[in-house]
Amino acid sequence: MRNNIVQLFLTYLKIGTFTIGGGYVMLALIQREVVDKHHWLEEQEFLNMIALAQAAPGLIAVNSAIFIAWRISRNEAHRHQRLYSAACVAAAVLGAVLPSIVIILLIAVFFTSYKSLPVIEAMFKGVRPTVVALIAATAIRLARKI
């Protein structure tokens, strides 16, 4: 049971760390981790979860973390169910947002000093089309399944 809490944290830490560009870019990695690797949700449940995560206010990564963590905690028989569910949700949400917080803090510290360097400007120009391509690929993959 404690393993689920750690696994949720590490999974969403990975998702938050290795996806740049927002929640919709994360969907492909979330699907791979949640459906294909860990089998926490079935394919149709994942599509339903995306619809719920989009309809609810907030970030799609955080909303999906809450839904999946709650779902996993409900599948476990635990003596202190509410506390266990809260711990699962907290671990998943913390894993999802922690990389962004650290990256933003690092950028804020160093960006003002280095933003005018040609390498930094070129990097930001190169990231934009990559993010658009990742969003388009995710949208096409999901559209085919729907």
Report pTM. 0.72
* Residue 115 DSSP code: T
What's the confidence (pLDDT) of residue 132?
87
Domain of 95, in residue numbers: 2-145
User: pLDDT at position 89, please?
Assistant: 94
pLDDT along the chain (146 residues), means of 10: 85 86 79 93 92 88 92 80 90 93 86 80 85 87 83
pLDDT score recorded for residue 120: 82
**Torsion angle of alpha carbons 143, 58, 36, 129, nearest 10°?**
60
Q: How confident is the model at residue 1, as a pLDDT?
A: 53
Number of domains in the chain: 1
Residue in 7, 32, 9 with CA at minimum distance from that of residue 95: 9
> Given this model, what pLDDT does residue 21 score?
67
